[in-house]
Every structure is written in structure tokens, then in C-alpha cells.
Amino acid sequence: MQAEQRTDPLAFHGEGPVWSPSWGGLRWLDMFAGDILSLDGDTVHRRHVGSMVVTVRPRRAGGAVLALQRGFALEDAHGTITELGDLWSDPLLRLNEGGCDPDGRFYCGSMAFDQKHGAGSLRRLDPDGSVDVVLTGLTISNGLDWSPDGSLAYYNDTATGRVAVFDYSAETGLTGQRSFAEIPAESGFPDGLTVDSQGGVWVALYGGSAVHRYTPDGRLDGVVEVAASRVTACTFGGPNLDELFITTSREGLDEGEEALAGSLFRVDAGVTGQPVREFAG
């Protein structure tokens, strides 16, 4: 499959696409600009929310939960954003990708700006506002999503070159980490991911100009080609959740290199996605 360009190259580092009917469709991020982008027909709206914004997910009560550079924030149904405070003071670390579990808790990983090995972790924000560290020793904490029945969680620590899978339950959280799919270096590096309604895992390949789909048993069975090398994330959207939206980046490229990098792309996926999981807080 070949993805088609959906917007101009508006983002320096496009990331984190999410479709939610509660906010009228698609949102994605221009991460290092601190902007949330939204698609209204052929018009893209841009809202500045901080020095950096790395993840956004809808809240059950309306609004959104946000991950900023070093902490979380809550947007209410009227659009007012309240920051919850920094999680650390070290300016060399930042938050990165995340998502919500089937029980309405919000997870977000961290990493060092210089991608120092093992400097990152994965934190969980509970609806009561408490924050727990659930994984440590990570390098580039990235895509996270759950199987349709909620019993499995798929996760990318980009530097490992593989997609991991965990068992999941509300009581025990993420357990039993093991390899789900190995990504050859020549194919790129696993970045964001999303899981469709059949349990297929779609993985954005940074440096690979593609999104790969893996069957629930870890077999590669589909490739979406993208006219930009730095493919960062993907999500299902559209009225029937049968379109795959794909974000890309210009980070590290020279001026004039890869004219379409930073664009939003889309493709008819041939399967439907899952409705987005919302934060219960």
C-alpha cells in the first residue's frame, strides 16, 4: 500500500496522532513546537500548549490529558489546561510517547535528549493524580497500545530494534515482557504503534519510510510505503475507523531534503481500528 499526502509539511517533528469523536476527529502534535494540530476538512488548526507536547489522549469527562516536557497536564471540557507539576528537575530528560490502558490510566515514557542508553522510564498517571514508575532502564520509550481484549500490551523501546509484548491486567499491570517482532536495522527503527480491531499491530518505522503490520502471532503481513523516511507514529481514524493516519518528521534533515517530510499521510487500511482508550481522571 502507498500512503497519500494529507497535509502540507506543517510539522518539524510530527507525532502522536489520535482520533476521537469527543474532540471532532484527528489531533496530532508538532512536538518540539509545543503545538497540538487538528484537522477540520482541509484546514489544519494549531494550538500552542507549552514548550513541548509529546502525547495527548482524550478524557472521559471531556478535554484531554497531556504529556509535556517534564510533566503531565489536564485539559478540561472548556479547553482550560492545568499543569500537574514537573516529575523531575533534570533538564537533560524529557517525556515521549504514551497511551491509556483499558482501565483508564495514562502511561508515558521518558528519554534523554541525547538518547543516553537506559536513562528513560515508563510512568503511569492514575485517575487520582498519583504517578508510579512501572518500567526503568529504557532508552527511547515510544509506542504503546493494547490488544482488543485488553490482555496484551505492545511497546517499543526504539533502541532495542524490536516490538515487545506484555501481559496486562488491572491488578498486576505490565508483566511477562517478551519479544513480539524483531525489526531488521535496514527496515528502520520501531517508533509509534497502534493495534487494529483484529489484533494486528501497526508499527511506524523511523528511517524506514514505512509502516509495517504484524499479525497477532508476530508475522509481517502488510507494508504501507510513505514518501518520507522519518515515520513517527500512526493511528486509525475516519468515521468508520478504517483510515490509517501517519505522522512524519523533518528532524535531522537538511534544508530542501525530503520535500514531504513533516506532512501528515493517510491510507485506506482495509481493516478497522479500535476506539481510542480515554483517561478516566
Nearest 5°: the CA angle 142, 51, 232 is 30
User: Who's near 195: CB < 8 A, 6+ residues apart?
Assistant: 145, 146, 147, 148, 154, 201, 202, 273, 274
Q: Which of 30, 157, 191, 196 is catalytic?
A: 191
Given a contact cutoff of 8 angstroms between Cβ atoms, the answer to whether 58 and 75 are in contact is: no
Burial of 26 (0-12, 13-18, 19+ CB in 10 A): buried
Residue 191 annotated to the active site:
yes
Look at residues 20, 19, 22, 83 and name the one whose alpha carbon lies nearest to residue 53: 83
Is 261 strand, coil or helix? coil
Given a contact cutoff of 8 angstroms between Cβ atoms, the answer to whether 262 and 253 are in contact is: no
Burial of 175 (0-12, 13-18, 19+ CB in 10 A): exposed
Joined together, the cell numbers standing for residue 97 give: 510517547
Please give the span between the terminal C-alpha atoms of the chain, in angstroms, as a whole number. 38
Look at residues 6, 53, 13 and name the one whose alpha carbon lies nearest to residue 248: 13
How far is Cα 45 from Cα 39, in angstroms, rounded to an integer? 6
Nearest 5°: the CA angle 175, 72, 117 is 55
| Residues catalogued as catalytic | 191
